[in-house]
Structures are given as structure tokens and as C-alpha cells.
Amino acid sequence: MEDSEVQYASVVFKSKRPPRAKKEEEIVYDEVKKHNQTSQQTFDTNGPLSERSYRYQKLACCFGNLCVILVMIIVGVSVYFVLLHRSDEQQLTQLRRNKTFLLEENINLTSLSNKLSSSFTIQVHNLTQQKRNLTEELRRVKEKNQELQTDKETLTRQIETMKKTWNEQKLRIINEYCHRRNNERSGSCESGWIYCQYSCYAVNDAEPPTHRTWNEARDDCKRKTSDLTVVGNEEEKLFLDDTSWDKQGIKGYWIGLWAVGGKWKWINGSDLTNQAWIQQQPATDGQCVTSLQNREWTSVSCTKKNAWICEKKS
């Protein structure tokens, strides 16, 4: 202790990180014994080494912080990619499901399309065949129609010829039956009466307002000392049909034939012998018969009003 010399030194410690607020410097006192000059020189020599060590420590600290930040970045990026990978896997799984669903739908639609196409093809084939059949049927109908048209024209000509022949024969029969030529009439009939086969006929063909029922017509004939006409044979029927003129407003002429007890009887009490002269059968009480040119005798209610034909002996 005697040989040594006591010296005091002040040492200032600073933090490695920059302080946020200025800290007061701490002064530490220590006893330093100077043994000799060599110790003083050694201390002086170690001064720069401490400064370099401090710098290394500071650099190591910065490098450590940088490593920590880098590790954090790596961890964050890794987490991000892990989450992104999971999201991609979920999307991929969903896409696979969608793909499977779409494939199934495509298969179903393809099957349905094939069925519809097959059905459509069958229908088109059937319709085409039906069209061919209808076309052929139409052709046959047209041919048949043409044949019928030709037959109709032929029959029409035949009917016209037959009508002409019939009218000529009827006129000849009437003229022969009534003993007249060139519309000559016997002077034994009153004016306005037609003579035929020893009988006189009055054709009452006035306008419809003056038409009468069957009983009224018969009463009118009786006032003229006659009665409704009675037909005894085919020739007289032809004459009666020819004189039952078809005029506007006239639907028929009353004759002396009516239904009594379910039979057709003449007003003279005789039965109708030729049932073919009237088509409406059977006879119904309350029905009377009318005649009209070029038409069959017709049975109508006796209360209807028509024209009438009277007959009396010449």
C-alpha cells in the first residue's frame, strides 16, 4: 500500500440503444493502484480495443434485430401462403364438386337430348308417312271426284233427256186422255174450267191470302156444284199433276183425298188403290193430301191453307 499510489478515475456507461430521454451520467469511482508505469501503459493500450468491442456489440445487436424482423416476415409469409394454400384447396375441392355436378348434368342432358332426338326422328318419320298417305288419298279422292263429276254430268244430261221425254209422253197421254189437240177445250165446260175426259176442272191458284183449309176448299167447290177432284187412274193423275201449276207462294193444291180411320180415302168413299201415289204412310186422321207439279203427293194437316182444284162432270 505504501509503494502504490492511489488514483481515482471516472467511467461513464452508455446504453447500446439510443435513449428516448437523456439519462444522467453515472459516475463510478474506483480505486486504481498504479503499481508501475507498465500498468499505466497497458491500460492505455487496451482503450481502442474496448471501443471496437462496443462497436461489434452494437453491430451484433442490429444484426439480431434484423434477423428477428426477417424471421417474423418469413413466418408471416409462410402463414399467408399456408392460408392461401388452404383457400386454394377449398376452391379446388369446390371446383371438383362443380365439375362432377356439371358432368352429371351434361350426361343427363345428353341422354335427354338423345331421347328427344330419337322421338323427334320417329315423329318426323310418322308425319312424313302420314303426309304420303294423305297425299295418295287426296289423289284418289280427286280422281274419284272427277269420275263422280263426269257421272253427274252424264246423269244430268240423262235426266234432262228423260224429263223432256217424260213431258212429251205426258203431254201426249193427257191430250189423248182428254181428247184435245192444240189446247182445244170442249164447249161443255164453263169459262175458266178445263175439260178432260168428260169432266171439268177449276184450278183455284189465287194469291196465298185467299188460300183455304181442306174443308173450306171443299165448301167452295160445293158452291160451284162440284167437289174436290178425285183421281181414278194413272192418266187422270198425270193430268192432275200437270194442272197443279207450281207458282210463287203456292205449296200445293188440295185434292179429294184424306185420312179416315187410318186409311186413305177419296171423298166419294172409295179407298186409295195405288198406295205408291203417296209416300207418307201410314194415314193419320186429320191429314189431307195436296198435289203439285213435278212433285209427289204430300200429306199435310187439313187445317193448313192451300190452293185447291175442283171437279165436276161436263
| Positive/negative CA dihedral, 183, 185, 189, 191 | positive
In this predicted structure, what is the pLDDT of residue 5? 47
In this predicted structure, what is the pLDDT of residue 87? 76
Question: Which CATH code for domain 194-313?
Answer: 3.10.100.10
pLDDT tens-digit map of 10-22: 444 454 455 444 4
pLDDT tens-digit map of 259-272: 999 899 999 999 99
Higher pLDDT, 86 or 172: 86
For the segment 121-138, the average pLDDT, to the nearest whole number, is 92
pTM flag (> 0.75): no
Within 8 A by CB and 6+ apart from 275, the residues are 264, 281
For the segment 127-133, the average pLDDT, to the nearest whole number, is 92
* Residue ranges covered by each domain of the chain: 194-313
Q: Which residues, listed in sequence order, are joined to residue 309 by a DSSP beta bridge?
A: 203
What is the chain's alpha carbon radius of gyration, rounded to the nearest angstrom? 71
For the segment 6-34, the average pLDDT, to the nearest whole number, is 46
Average pLDDT in the chain: 80
